[in-house]
Structure 1
Amino acid sequence: MQERIHILWDTLSDFEARQTEQAATFLMQQLCALSGAWNATWAGAMRLDSSARNDPLQGWRVGAVQALLPVASAPEEQHFRDILKVWEKREIDPSFLLPMREVGTFRSYAFRRDLPAEWFTSAFYQRHYESVGIRDALFVAFPINEDSESHFGFYAREPFSEADGRRLVYAMRGIKWFHRRLMLSHGLLTASTPLTPTERRVLQLLLTEASEKEIGRNMEIAPSTAHQHVSSVFRKFGVRSRAGLMSVWLNPLRR
């Protein structure tokens, strides 16, 4: 099984920087097949206010989410975004406290393993999970720095076995470079604010040799509009040129 995961890592590294979202989809597909999960998500979390003493979530917010498959009756990632809306309102469900355990360290947490039996009779579980065929969920959290983390979640129709959990943890542990790339692609590390969907498309093209005119043609927007988006991406990353942007992507971040 380790050899299969090593091959997965090698294949993942073959994706170009501009193909980060496609690479995440590939990774989630492979790990679902490896663990018996039927769906998966990635979420980029940021701590916006580390001094929030009365906040049980310690100032953490989810800045971006990507789902492998849309949940029935909910377009794209909307089902998972609805859960995040409850998180943002600070209507605390016990499941929200799981990622706060040992925050800042590499860790995993799971519904069936870590939540009490009575939670599975709660209205929250029945509405957001049981109703769409999720009987268990296992998450792997990877800290990028003290104020940002990458979380992958896997959803199954039956409880995960200990062996499934070990495989997922092992697969996630060896790819810090990819966790970091995912965060960068959504503007969740050095960027001043998360990138908009349009800015993420522009970023993908900036990581190629496409000129601003070619970016405009590719996105079917005017050159002046493309320039505005490029300038916005540069500004959010705190750089003045494509060379500066590339240095952000190629140089590892330090705490």
Structure 2
Amino acid sequence: MVRLPGASADPLGGWRPMALSYLRPLPQNQNFTAQRLRAINRGQTDESVTAQARLAGTFRAHRLRDIVSPAWFESAYYQNYLDRGIHDSLTVALPVNAMTESYYGFLRMRPLDPFTETQRQIAAYALRGLPVFHRHILLAHGVGVAAKPFSPVERKAVAHLLTDKSEKDIAAALGVTATTAHTYIRDVLDKLGVKGRAGLAALWLGQPPDNKPRSL
């Protein structure tokens, strides 16, 4: 989920799903996902979707019945779940930064066997450390903190900058001249708003740069 700017009047506060994938896709997943994304982008939401938006910014793990009213289970939206053989879901939401969240969803296909509170607690415990991992993935691509996303060669330069390699060694690893490597490094640091490798390391450790971070 990504938060779009300038959406104060939006029922979802600007939050929109950007990508959705299934570990084990169901036959109707592709059509259901496409329809759901189109409806959300048109501002057509339901109780379960708006509940997620209200809770944005906090690490959370919940079952369907934790965030919706009993009446929701009589709605057409829940019928879409049943039509695909889904009777319950368990979602763990991971805030990555102020503009991005990651979600892990587990589907229960067995009727009359909803997720238990113990299972919710286990999922929360198991996934609590993942926001740091997701943040590093975004940082490696320059998403969320950089003036613009990194190019493929800049992503490689970032990986080398986080080692003890000299600029000469980085140039050799990238297969470019020292001057070109220096340009890549300078552009990476400028995009991130840091002044050197120490600032880059601090950013990777979760400390913001001295100057105001730039966003997309």
Per the TM superposition, whether the score is higher than 0.5 is: yes
Q: Which residue of 1 aligns with 2:99?
A: 148
Question: For 1:53-202, what aligned pairs fall within 5 Å after superposition?
Answer: 53-62=8-17, 65=19, 67=21, 69=23, 71=25, 84=37, 86-111=39-64, 113-115=66-68, 116-117=72-73, 118=75, 119-122=77-80, 125=81, 131=84, 135-143=87-95, 147-158=98-109, 159-173=114-128, 177-195=132-150, 200=155
Cα RMSD over matched residues? Answer: 4.5
Aligned counterparts of 1:84 and 1:226: Cα–Cα separation in 2: 41
Q: CA 1:55–1:251 in 2, change beyond 3 Å: closer, same or farther?
A: closer
- Higher RCO by CA contacts (8 Å cutoff, separation 6 or greater): 1
Q: Which residue of 1 aligns with 2:201?
A: 246
Aligned counterparts of 1:188 and 1:238: Cα–Cα separation in 2: 13
> For structure 1, which runs of at least 5 residues remain unmatched after alignment?
1-42
CA contact (8 A) 1:109 1:138 kept: yes
Identical positions, percent: 32
Q: Which residue of 1 aligns with 2:189?
A: 234
Deviation at 1:211, TM superposition (A): 1.0
1:123-147 deviations in Å (ceiling 9; x for gaps)? xx47xxx64x6544322234455x2
Q: Which residue of 2 aligns with 1:215?
A: 174
Q: Counterpart amino acid of 1:215?
A: L
Q: CA 1:187–1:90 in 2, change beyond 3 Å: closer, same or farther?
A: farther
Q: CA 1:246–1:92 in 2, change beyond 3 Å: closer, same or farther?
A: same
Q: CA 1:72–1:174 in 2, change beyond 3 Å: closer, same or farther?
A: closer
1:42-77 deviations in Å (ceiling 9; x for gaps)? x5x34533xx332011123456x5857373789xx9
Aligned counterparts of 2:174 and 2:22: Cα–Cα separation in 1: 27
Q: CA 1:80–1:237 in 2, change beyond 3 Å: closer, same or farther?
A: farther
How does the TM-score come out when normalised to structure 2?
Answer: 0.61
Deviation at 1:86, TM superposition (A): 4.8
Aligned counterparts of 2:40 and 2:184: Cα–Cα separation in 1: 30
Aligned counterparts of 2:26 and 2:34: Cα–Cα separation in 1: 14
CA contact (8 A) 1:138 1:154 kept: yes
1:170-209 deviations in Å (ceiling 9; x for gaps)? 2334565445434433434422345567755554454344
Greater Cα offset, 194-203 or 178-187: 194-203
1:66-118 deviations in Å (ceiling 9; x for gaps)? 857373789xx9x9688556544434344421312233333234335434212
How does the TM-score come out when normalised to structure 1?
Answer: 0.54
